[in-house]
Structure 1
Amino acid sequence: MDSSTIDGVVAAVSAAAATYGRNVLDHGEVAAEQATVRLGRRLLERLRRDPGSDARISGAVLAVADDPEDEDRTAALRAGVERALRREDGLAGELAALLAESGVGPATVPGDRSVRMTTNHGIVSLGDNARNSIANPG
């Protein structure tokens, strides 16, 4: 199972949940949707097609919508996506195709001491003997 597909699906569905909150499960279309949110909704609609996965995926997405910053809720969504991929033949290929169609693909991080992240609120320093500081403008 390709973890980059799972990562892409979880990131897009989480973005949709964070944007729409608990309304993310509704099928209404908003004209000003961002590309990532639109992708998340498409992925979510595909994941929910399987009745066995629908309740679990929906519950996990609603939990993320309630608190998008809670890593445990995102981990539960990831686990739900993994379960769905294990249960349904061909689903991984369909989701990977949707991700590729949108231009979202696996991130490659070449080089020694490279970092791959989705969110950063501070300094990332990988050099030997690096000295970092953040100036306080106040």
Structure 2
Amino acid sequence: MFGLLVVSIAGTALLIASVGVMNMMLVAVAERSREVGLLMALGARRSDVMLQFLIEAVVICAAGSGLGTGLALGLGGAAAWLDLPIRLIFGWSSVVAATASASLAGIVAGLAPARRAARIDPVEALTR
């Protein structure tokens, strides 16, 4: 029962973080529309622009996953060092699963902003 509770809390947190990343990426696309227009005017394909924003979203999510994992491992080490009655046990499979799910969330959250960036008309973006 406790495992189900932890998984549901983690899933909810991942969903909320994905929405935050998507919002941040949509703002980045809006702010960098001139840059995207210039890239496309210089010969970048729509797939190149889309890949750029997808990679950015995945890197943001993977960095967040790395920071979260580091914080969890640090708190577990501090709890063991202070001889607290709580013992935290980490499995590397959990760390890999958390990083993979965060990266997948980055791909899902970055798809809509990346598609929007790829559809920007270069002429219109450069005239704004």
TM value normalised by structure 1: 0.25
Q: Say which structure, 1 or 2, has more relative contact order (CA 8 Å, 6+ apart).
A: 2
Asked which structure has the greater CA Rg, the reply is 2
TM-score, with length taken from structure 2? 0.26
